[in-house]
Structure 1
Amino acid sequence: MSTEAPAAPGPTPVRRLLPLLVPSILVGIAAALVLLGVSWVADHLQDVLWQTLPDALGIGRYSSLWMIVMLTATGVAVGLVIWKVPRHAGPDPAVGGLVDPPLAPAVLPGLLVVTVLALAGGVSLGPENPITATNIALACWLGARIAPGSPTMLWLSLAAAGTVGALFGTPVAAALIFSEVLAERPGPGALWDRLLPPLLAGGMGALTVTLLAHPSFDLSLPAYSGPHWGDLPGALIVASVGALIGMAAVYALPYVHGAFARLGRPWLALPLGSLVLGLLGALGGHLTLFKGLTEIKVLAEDPDGWSSGEFALMTVVKLAALVVATSCGFRGGRIFPSVFAGVALGLCAHALVPEVDVTLAVVCAVLGMLMAVTRQGWISLFTAAVLAADAAVLPVLVMASVPAWLLVTGRPLMQLHDDGTPLR
């Protein structure tokens, strides 16, 4: 007969979750404030560089000359900062993803400086990767001091969720991303128990940004009258073409990165890369500069304002700029530039075949492009749907996601190993 005492029952789900509520709220608010602060500085510097300065010099704000000069100067400045600051503003951006292990706090000043310079200078990268990395580093560093022994993964997930919620203005994006992450990392409790703290952090991040900055992803596209059976072929083709074009950028990354890596020094690679970005901007027009969120609204306001060839050129230029900027060492994210490329591609598809509904063309192209670049199905579906702000597109979007995902799954990622070979 066994004499072992029965194991003491573990804490109930409620007791596990209650201590996490306040940290989730605070981390979500702090993540949003970091994003807003960096964006505020970058926006004001952008006004100086692209309005005040060229006006004072009597040069066209977005003339080809000014775009080439300004982007090259941005590359020189970022290259010098990365070369001279402690820890060199973090690891090579081509090897990093959206949610990575925490950086050392000493990396953050340099990382934030080069992020602001790149955002203001017109580089085709978004703020999501460096801001997420900053918030993760701060949350993990403070969490280890406030609650010694607490798991690093807790603070990492709260900071990442708060940042993603703030970036997209809704906690749904954070919940979708972390549902994929948690599915790969089984743990105790129901999925919703483990998802609740990141969801709360994402909600507070989204609420803080919404109350202070009122962001919107709605492109005010024409209302979609479907779904109709006749919409399905066009949706499948546009999403698949978006995925294929996005994969072209993915396959190009290791080769372009390798070419810049052979230069050996950031103060050489970044000025050269930024000169190429300036030439690309002169080719594609000023709308292909910057992260792309403001610029997609300009495109969507007048879907018939450009020809199919001009939309196609913007798509190619934006993706080329994304690859070059990531390869030469600029710190930044790939989601927002990919959204711009997808919007331009969708408008191109509508211009070529007017029978394809413009709203459906845009969201399906964004869906395919994001699936290729991010390899995250949920966030691709969510972002595409948010651009239309119309639930009627969801059934067709889900159908269009099938061929797009089959084209990209198992292929190389738009992220490299330290030796320059692509992840899979």
Structure 2
Amino acid sequence: MVQDSAPQAPSVTPATPARALLPSILPALAVGVVSSLLLVGVEAAAEEFEDVLWRTVPDALGIGRYSVAWMFVMLVATGIAVGLVVWKVPGHAGPDPATLGLDAPVLPPVVLPGLVLATALMLAGGPSLGPENPIIAVNVGLAAWLGGRALPRAPGRIWPALAEAATLGALFGTPVAAALVISEVLARQETRGLLWDNLFAPLTAAAAGGLTVTLIHRPAFGLDLPPLGHPRWGDLLAALGVASAGALLALCAVRVFPYVHSAFRRLRHPMLMLPAGGAVLGCLAALGGHLTLFKGLDEIAELAKDPGGRTAGEYAVLTVVKLAALLVAASCGFRGGRIFPAVFVGTALGLCAHALVSGVHPSVGVSAGVLGVLLAITRQGWVSLFVAAVLVASPGIITLLCIASLPAWLLVTGRPQMQLRADGTAIR
């Protein structure tokens, strides 16, 4: 047998030269700053309107700010207001939000004003959704529209990637989450070049977005929980159990999501679906109280101030009611994302575990609960780990979470996702 004596060159992924990456810096910085300013603007406007709706008006009327009657009236009124936007405003506030995830489609410019308005009304009115999905969609559409005109020779696919990364960086106040999401996307695609070459422009946009928000808005995700210290075997067992329980609980909501969505769709008109959803949310608020309203970020900080201040039963009610409110709000047509309310669900579940078993450290319970719930609802492994870890300022928690994510991922992988196709069937 004749052997080829010529040595074979090793398989090496070619690197992108610096001169090819440098032109992307300015567009990425511009997209990062503009995307973060839009996010901050929408949230600031929503907070001002929320203050009027939930403080000024009820105080002037002599009604309790979070009385059962006022919560019910406000949630139904929010459904009517958002329903009017979906019905009458050009573009109808975009496609069915149940069909959208973090990877938003490029929407035409006519859709974007209505989507911004519907999102701001939702954030102010109290439904259990966050701003992430619609704001990403708005920034993607705006970046594609403006970027295509400013730099027509640039690849069209670059603008959605920059806008998505910038918005994620602004949402969490750091580019790390954006880098993790993009790395998952790149792993599913056939991409050429080194990972960091592909991440360079999106990471620049994410850094600009995160820095802008940090300088002008100063977001804070860390909870005031007791530090963990050195992890022990009991902490590992607690993390495994709570993360798996959170994944199973959230999977129950994911499983019934298409059926709840279908029930609201039978009403056929946004002026019926959204007010009906608001009425159901009002009934849930009567059960769970005001902490189960809104996106949940301020509310989890309130829970974390006194981990032992409630019984296990009270935490269980908060967990189930908030998960049901997330399910209803995401099904009936409110424009919003699922990450932030899912964090509340995981936090309440972790504190419930701590109340049931005093040996479960509150930091372990909260971070593991958030991890399990987010894995089931988002299927974003890196983001779930990142959010769960950043809530607890304890370096030792990361190892526990990495191990706890393994059985939780086995429970959720291959299962239906909390996102639907256009025909209403669940995506796997």
**Normalising by structure 1, what TM-score?**
0.97
Q: Which runs of 5+ in 1 are unaligned?
A: 1-9
Out of 363, 370, 376, the position equivalent to 1:372 is 376
User: 1:105 corresponds to which letter in structure 2?
Assistant: P
Residues 16, 197 of structure 2: 8 Å contact kept: no
- Secondary structure (helix, strand or coil) at the match of 2:159 reads helix
Out of 42, 49, 60, the position equivalent to 1:45 is 49
1:225 CA drift (Å): 1.9
1:228 CA drift (Å): 1.2
Q: Deviations over 1:291-341 (max 9, x none)?
A: 000000000001111111111111111111111011110000000000000
Residues 13, 189 of structure 1: 8 Å contact kept: no
User: 2:39 corresponds to which letter in structure 1?
Assistant: L
Query: 1:248 corresponds to which residue?
Result: 252
1:326-365 superposed matches below 5 A: 326-365=330-369
Asked if 1:263 is matched to 2:254, the reply is no
User: 2:126 corresponds to which letter in structure 1?
Assistant: G
Query: 1:126 corresponds to which residue?
Result: 130
Asked if 1:177 is matched to 2:186, the reply is no
Aligned counterparts of 2:234 and 2:52: Cα–Cα separation in 1: 49
Q: Which runs of 5+ in 2 are unaligned?
A: 1-13
User: 2:333 corresponds to which letter in structure 1?
Assistant: G
- Secondary structure (helix, strand or coil) at the match of 2:391 reads helix
Query: 2:83 corresponds to which residue?
Result: 79
Out of 154, 158, 161, the position equivalent to 1:154 is 158
Query: 2:225 corresponds to which residue?
Result: 221
Residues 250, 414 of structure 1: 8 Å contact kept: yes
1:230 CA drift (Å): 2.3
1:357 CA drift (Å): 0.8
Asked if 1:407 is matched to 2:414, the reply is no
1:100 CA drift (Å): 1.7
1:98 CA drift (Å): 1.1
Query: 1:111 corresponds to which residue?
Result: 115
Query: 1:59 corresponds to which residue?
Result: 63
Q: Deviations over 1:101-136 (max 9, x none)?
A: 211110011111110110000010000001100000
1:11 CA drift (Å): 9.7
Residues 15, 193 of structure 2: 8 Å contact kept: no
1:186 CA drift (Å): 2.5
1:187 CA drift (Å): 2.3
Query: 1:192 corresponds to which residue?
Result: 196
1:12 CA drift (Å): 4.7
Q: Deviations over 1:342-395 (max 9, x none)?
A: 000000000000101110010000000000000010000000000002211011
Aligned counterparts of 1:153 and 1:386: Cα–Cα separation in 2: 31
Query: 1:3 corresponds to which residue?
Result: none
1:183 CA drift (Å): 1.2
Out of 310, 318, 322, the position equivalent to 1:318 is 322
- State the percentage of identical aligned residues: 62
Runs of 4+ in 1 over 3 A off after TM superposition: none
